[in-house]
Amino acid sequence: MSSLGGLPFILLFFVAMYFLLFAPQQKKQKQWQTMLAQVKAGDKITTSGGIRGTVVAVKDDCVVLRTAPDNHKMEIVKSAIAAVTTDEDATKAA
């Protein structure tokens, strides 16, 4: 009987760990996937490598990015996108 006395505390620990660690990470992952699905031409993005530019074209699993000031174009995979600033976000900030 005494060995089962600590079982509720262990279960409570695992439930707390789930809500503190795993649930927020899953929510963040879903938001990131939604952001990637909504990328369109004209959006300004920042890659995980720190490259900033404007999306010129969107393909299945990659985007064509134009960087300033020389207007170089490069193709990057969508999973490398860290942040997106849409036209609406830019007008709200101004």
The 10s digit of each residue's pLDDT in 32-78 is: 999 999 999 999 999 999 999 999 999 989 999 999 999 999 999 99
User: pTM score, two decimals?
Assistant: 0.68
Domain spans of the chain?
A: 1-37, 40-94
**Could you tell me which CATH number the domain at 40-94 has?**
2.30.30.60
Residue 42 near residue 87 (C-beta atoms within 8 A): yes
Whole-angstrom distance, CA of residue 48 vs CA of residue 45: 10
Position 7 pLDDT exceeds 90: no
Whole-angstrom distance, CA of residue 39 vs CA of residue 57: 10
Whole-angstrom distance, CA of residue 89 vs CA of residue 18: 33
